[in-house]
Amino acid sequence: MQKTSRFSRLLTLVTAVALAVCLPVSAYAETETTEEAAAPAVVEEATQDNTADEAASEDSASSVRVVDVTIFMDTTKGYFESDPDNVALTYLNRAEFEETPITLPTVIANEGWEFKGWDVWGKEHFVLGADATELGTSGLGAFPVGSLVGGIYLYPIFMEAPKPV
């Protein structure tokens, strides 16, 4: 019964994250605020000398893919030492092939639980031990089709501590 409950909770969390990541960002880009709708449109003339340079820089900027890294916490089983009340830590807009690793937070297990490591989901799925202090993210991000923003998700692995005899 308990394994099913844990699996169901993990599946629900993974599904919620997947839905949040897959929402089309472009749907929000079309929305105008009241002030923007009321403001008159301003048209500026672009000089011919700058037009080609601007177009080239826009093309290169629009094709840069970034990765958001989210580290979740189940506060019923443990907490981040640096931020006990937080349920997630996020590293936003990391370059897809960023060479600098992120520092993993120190996890403190609540009474009755032991922290065993990290369940890592991205382009690939793997497990890190509890002694891991860094995560290299280069090329690890999972990108929805057509998206320039990918994700890497880390979930702590806890096991019930053995009860004293």
**Across 105-114, average pLDDT:** 97
Please provide residue 13's backbone torsions phi and psi, each rounded to the nearest 5 degrees. -65, -45
Are 123 and 107 in contact by the 8 Å Cβ rule? The answer is no
Domain 65-165 has what CATH class? Answer: mainly beta
Instruction: Give the Cβ contact number of residue 23 at 10 Å.
Output: 10
Cβ burial of 81 (10 Å; 0-12, 13-18, 19+) is exposed
Mean pLDDT, the chain, as a whole number? 76
Which amino acid does the sequence have at 96? E
Instruction: List the chain domain ranges.
Output: 65-165
**Predicted pLDDT at 6:** 56
Is 60 exceeded by the pLDDT of residue 55?
Answer: no
**Residue with more model confidence, 121 or 30:** 121
**Predicted pLDDT at 165:** 77
What percent of the chain has pLDDT above 90? 59
Residues 22-42 have pLDDT tens digits of 444 333 344 344 344 433 333
pTM of the predicted protein model: 0.62
Number of helical (H) and strand (E) elements in the chain, helices listed first: 4, 9
Binning pLDDT at 50, 70 and 90, where does residue 18 land?
very low
Is 70 exceeded by the pLDDT of residue 94?
Answer: yes
